[in-house]
Amino acid sequence: MLSNFLLKKGTLAGVLFFCSFQVLAQNWQDKQWLRLGVYRNTLFGYESEADHSSYFASPEGKTNPKKELKALIARLNEVEPDPKKNIHCRFPARIRWLKKYMSVPENTVVCEDYLKFKNRLAAKSISVVFSSYYPNNPGSTFGHTFIRLGKQKNEERDDDSTATELLDTGINYGAMTEGAGPVLFAIGGLAGWFYGNYNAVPYYYKVREYNDFETRDLWSYQFDMTQEEIDLIVDHIWELAHTKFDYYFLTENCSYHVLSILESARPTLHLHDHLPRLYTIPSETLKALEKEKIVRKITFRPAASTQFYHQLGLLNKEEKKSVQDLVFKNIAVPDYKPERQALIYDTALSLVDYKYAKKILKGDEDAQKIKRPLLVARSKIPVRSEELDFSGKMAEAPHLTHGQKRVAITYLNRDSKNLMDVEWRFAFHDMLDNDLGYPPKTKLDIMKAIVRTDGDKLQLRDFSFLDVMQLGKWDAFNRASSWKAKLGHWQTRYKGEDLATEGFTIGYGISRGFNIFTPFALAHLENSYVSDTLFKYKLGYGADVGLLTEFNYAWKLWSTLEWRVHPWDESRVLNELRYSNQSFGLGTYHQSYLIDGVQEMGLRIFKYL
């Protein structure tokens, strides 16, 4: 049987057959083979995450890496003139891998599109770019990551990272949601209705989109990878680009796939092992990169707003006033030295770019009428701008953040009874947590539960599906408002009793920073359901007035008067002090109800995971 086969196929094929037999037996479970096929171990054996049959050489390839390897080897000799179908043009990464183990026949077809793609990318370096939290939209709270393939080696850019960076290529993985509104996207994203795919665009589109349009900082984590590894990644991306994946925004999202791509190039990397299976939070994937010690250098690209506040910090009081006059009152700048004048104009331009970002980038005429006179005047000051130094930002890099899961134990005394609260939070950050690497003055608790016990009974005190608050920067230059929202289960207070309630609260107002102090005032509205009362549905209203004091990243004090008109019983004064670092926290609080003076005070211990 075998000899017949050899006779028929000729000697070359025979050799190929023998080699391949060995390759197949020894290597179908090779880690890199499985990674290049995007296989995962499931209850029912292997299954590839790739969802398109064209990703495989065998019709059973999706669930059978062994048959897939066999089919790939068997098809190496195929004479297929169409590059779209030719096996060498379709699977350059897997064939590159195969070449380590056997000799592969030369490809006789010119893979035109593939070569074009590879040449245009001209990848010589690789980074993972983190697009930071989008302060004005909780939608991008977790940040976003994508791959940047550089056209120069990292070392060549150490002196001036920005000279040619814009010409790099961003490789982005995202959901294909064309036509789906946010609601549909949300449900579909959770349920895996959408497909995800890769696209490659010039990095400058990414910079304009994130830095300028959405005012988000960009952090690049550079890796030291060999040219061989980078070439394999490019080939792998080429293969991935021709398939699609089920998109799950909690698990198999952008950051998840970015890690998979890096792993495919280097079998010794185990990035996914540092992450939980149930969800992938972009900033947490950066920690995985650090843990595997593959980060060579981190570079920073400021958002329009970051640039503005940095420049503003270089000006004195009088000069800041000039910026205001220039932008808002059209009053010319008085006679400063040309260097100072240039800086004032640069700051004014950054302000316009930040404040009217969306209009300017869409070419809006009114925005141009504001910006152009500033530009013309700036060009006439005979001083070229200095490059801004953002090296101080490195101390706030996004991988330095505290763990996003948190457990806390509170020993408290209420109305002379001793009680204990046990709290668990899935994610993410609150006003008093250490905010190194996080957007300032922001709270976003997702899935937080507090259980209270008196040593006897257990009671679910509080459950937040979502509890969010943002104290916006309301200053002379920009008027960002403050707001809050909460959805969940908590205790309401009525006639001296705690009653369980479910519903939502919202609030809107202003806050302003003075040095370490941030006073704020928000109107409060609540719509909830209380089963234990006559009124059942409760429409509560009132206001929160308070002061956030931030001594530094770690030490913070929160003081508020939560004044409620309906029901009045709930009005209280609350003070909470906390010290916290990346993994531990210690705090104390005191609260007192206005109506009857019932007090509660406690000591809190936090562990960030």
Partner 1 sequence: MKFILVVIAMMISTAALAAKPYGMAGCGLGSQMMGKEGNQILAATTNGTGTQTFGISSGTSNCITATEQTAMIRNFIEANYASLVTDMAKGQGDSVKTLSNFYGCDTAAFATEMKANYEKITPAQENATAVMANINTVIDHSATLSSSCKHAI
Considering only residues 308-327, where is the footprint of partner 1 by CB under 8 A?
Answer: none
Give the nearest distance from C-beta 76 to partner 1 in angstroms.
Answer: 24
Stretch that binds partner 1, among 20-28, 187-195, 315-323, 570-578 (CB under 8 A): 187-195
Give CA–CA dist 301/243, Å, rounded: 32
For the segment 1-60, give every residue that binds partner 1 (CB under 8 A). none
Site membership for partner 1, residue 111 (CB under 8 A): no
- β-sheet bridge partners, residue 444: 429, 468
Structural tokens at position 176:
């294909």
Instruction: Give the residue, chosen from 7, 78, 105, 113, that forms a contact with partner 1 under the rule CB under 8 A.
Output: 113
Site membership for partner 1, residue 83 (CB under 8 A): no
**E strand residue ranges, 83-160:** 125-131, 144-150
Give CA–CA dist 246/257, Å, rounded: 11
Give CA–CA dist 56/205, Å, rounded: 32
- 32 or 169: CB nearest partner 1: 169
Stretch that binds partner 1, among 5-13, 40-48, 159-167, 396-404 (CB under 8 A): 159-167
Stretch that binds partner 1, among 89-97, 392-400, 460-468, 471-479 (CB under 8 A): 460-468
Site membership for partner 1, residue 82 (CB under 8 A): no
- 61 or 189: CB nearest partner 1: 189
Instruction: Give the residue, chosen from 7, 187, 331, 516, that forms a contact with partner 1 under the rule CB under 8 A.
Output: 187
- 172 or 518: CB nearest partner 1: 172
- Paired sense of beta strands 584-593 and 599-608, if any: antiparallel
Q: Mask 262-301, x = binds partner 1 (CB under 8 A)?
A: --------------------x-------------------
For the segment 203-222, give every residue that binds partner 1 (CB under 8 A). 204-205, 208-210, 212-214
Give CA–CA dist 280/264, Å, rounded: 18
Please name which of 590, 583, 576 lies closest in space to residue 609, comparing C-alpha atoms.
Answer: 583
Give the nearest distance from C-beta 45 to partner 1 in angstroms.
Answer: 29
For the segment 334-393, give every residue that binds partner 1 (CB under 8 A). 342, 346, 349, 353, 358, 360-363, 365, 368, 372, 375-376, 378-380, 383-387
Site membership for partner 1, residue 483 (CB under 8 A): no
Structural tokens at position 50:
């790739």
Instruction: Give the residue, chosen from 74, 122, 312, 545, that forms a contact with partner 1 under the rule CB under 8 A.
Output: 122
Site membership for partner 1, residue 126 (CB under 8 A): no
Site membership for partner 1, residue 468 (CB under 8 A): yes
Site membership for partner 1, residue 567 (CB under 8 A): no
Site membership for partner 1, residue 140 (CB under 8 A): yes
For the segment 236-255, give every residue that binds partner 1 (CB under 8 A). 237-238, 241-242, 247, 249, 253-254
- Paired sense of beta strands 442-453 and 458-470, if any: antiparallel
Give CA–CA dist 174/168, Å, rounded: 19
Give the nearest distance from C-beta 447 to partner 1 in angstroms.
Answer: 9
Axis crossing angle, helix 227-240 with helix 112-121, rounded to the nearest 10? 130
Give the nearest distance from C-beta 271 to partner 1 in angstroms.
Answer: 19
**In 3-state terms, what secondary structure has residue 94?**
helix
Site membership for partner 1, residue 235 (CB under 8 A): no
- 143 or 507: CB nearest partner 1: 143
Please name which of 50, 3, 557 lies closest in space to residue 264, comparing C-alpha atoms.
Answer: 50
Site membership for partner 1, residue 303 (CB under 8 A): no
List of residues 6+ apart from 489 with CB closer than 8 A? 460, 462, 463, 500, 501, 502
Cβ burial of 176 (10 Å; 0-12, 13-18, 19+) is middle
Site membership for partner 1, residue 85 (CB under 8 A): no
**In 3-state terms, what secondary structure has residue 580?**
strand
Site membership for partner 1, residue 192 (CB under 8 A): no
Give the nearest distance from C-beta 123 to partner 1 in angstroms.
Answer: 9
Give the nearest distance from C-beta 139 to partner 1 in angstroms.
Answer: 4
- 106 or 387: CB nearest partner 1: 387
- 136 or 478: CB nearest partner 1: 136
Instruction: Give the residue, chosen from 28, 97, 134, 477, that forms a contact with partner 1 under the rule CB under 8 A.
Output: 134
- 12 or 166: CB nearest partner 1: 166
Q: Are 428 and 467 in contact (CB under 8 A)?
A: no
Please provide residue 221's backbone torsions phi and psi, each rounded to the nearest 5 degrees.
-100, 105
Site membership for partner 1, residue 536 (CB under 8 A): no
* Lateral strand order in the sheet of 125-131: 245-246, 195-202, 169-175, 144-150, 125-131, 218-223, 295-301
Tally Cβ neighbours within 10 Å of residue 137.
10
Give CA–CA dist 237/231, Å, rounded: 10
Taking CA 351 as the corner, what is the angle to CA 349 and CA 357, rounded to the nearest 5 degrees?
95
Instruction: Give the residue, chosen from 7, 201, 460, 586, that forms a contact with partner 1 under the rule CB under 8 A.
Output: 201
**E strand residue ranges, 389-496:** 406-414, 417-429, 442-453, 458-470, 482-494
Site membership for partner 1, residue 167 (CB under 8 A): yes
- 249 or 553: CB nearest partner 1: 249
Site membership for partner 1, residue 155 (CB under 8 A): no
Q: Are 168 and 148 in contact (CB under 8 A)?
A: yes
**In 3-state terms, what secondary structure has residue 135?**
coil
- 54 or 226: CB nearest partner 1: 54
Distances (CA, A) of 24 to 9, 27, 31, 74, 145: 19, 5, 13, 11, 36
Site membership for partner 1, residue 107 (CB under 8 A): no
Please name which of 436, 441, 437, 443 lies closest in space to residue 464, comparing C-alpha atoms.
Answer: 443
Instruction: Give the residue, chosen from 85, 116, 153, 417, that forms a contact with partner 1 under the rule CB under 8 A.
Output: 116
For the segment 417-446, give every residue that binds partner 1 (CB under 8 A). 446
Distances (CA, A) of 322 to 98, 122, 318, 332, 432: 66, 46, 6, 8, 35
Stretch that binds partner 1, among 132-140, 409-417, 491-499, 552-560 (CB under 8 A): 132-140
Per rule CB under 8 A, count of chain residues that contact partner 1: 87
Tally Cβ neighbours within 10 Å of residue 186.
13
